[in-house]
Amino acid sequence: MRNIKLTIEYDGKRYLGWQRLGDSDKTIQGKIESVIAQMTGETIEIIGSGRTDAGTHARGQVANFKTETELSVEAMRTFFNRYLPRDIVVKEVEEVADRFHARYNAQGKQYSYYVWNHEVPSALNRNYSFHVAQPLDREKMKQACEKLIGTHDFIGFSALKKTKKSTTRTIRQLTIQEEGDQLHFVFEGNGFLHKMVRILTGTLIEIGLGKLDVSVIDEVLESKVRKDAGETVPAHALFLDRVEY
């Protein structure tokens, strides 16, 4: 039995997210598993590094699966990219140690979120950035970013209800890069809770608009109450850049 690791890029616009759904074929996992069945003749469930929401994109999602096929990794990659939809691409195929697990072995992830900050929307970027027409106070947003770096209980910045699992995560880096009229938010950490990046971005935007004060970061980290934070921004401007092992 071989253990195969995939590095995957996809445009999530047409899909209901990563996780396979029993009543729909519009998921990334479902599309890849269908092609694996064609390629190997085996019914296989792939393991992803984590779920991405409906509409979210990826530059470097990672998954693995076990197979008896004798195809070379080069032949597998060719097969994937011939039969997958054009908005899903397998960038790399590697044979890895049997113990490798795409989810449990992940040590960190990097996400990007893009905001088009101009009174006039962008026709070309509309599917991959969130339009904010009003000016944003970059300095206040950067001050808020500094407060979020480190190890905290981020449940107040997530869509999770009560859970027995730990909601403490470490954000190693959080920057806002100015690329003309586009703001590029970069989140790097050891893991992220459900919708955490989108809620953090929404909170930072409301701080930039003057709707919330920078102190809201400390308040939510202390209160752990979701409604005290900002809005959840749309998924279409979110990218999973890479998974670290």
Tell me the catalytic residues: 53
CB contact at 8 A, 182 and 125? yes
**Contact at 8 Å (CB) between 177 and 184?**
yes
Q: What is the 3-state secondary structure (H, E, C) of 105-137?
A: CCCEEEEEEEEECCCCCCCCCCCCCEECCCCCC
Residue 48 sits at φ, ψ, to 5 deg, of: -95, 160
**One-letter amino acid for residue 15 of the chain:** Y
Handedness of CA 48, 50, 53, 59 (dihedral sign): negative
Tokens standing for residue 9? 């890029």
Instruction: Name the residue with tokens 């050891």.
Output: 190
Instruction: Please name the residue that has the structure tokens 């992940």.
Output: 106
Number of residues assigned to the chain: 245
Cα dihedral sign, 5-9-12-14? negative
φ, ψ for residue 69 (rounded to 5)?
Answer: -60, 150
For residue 82, give every residue at least 6 positions away whose Cβ sits within 8 Å of its Cβ, in sequence order, or none.
none
Amino acid identity of 26?
K
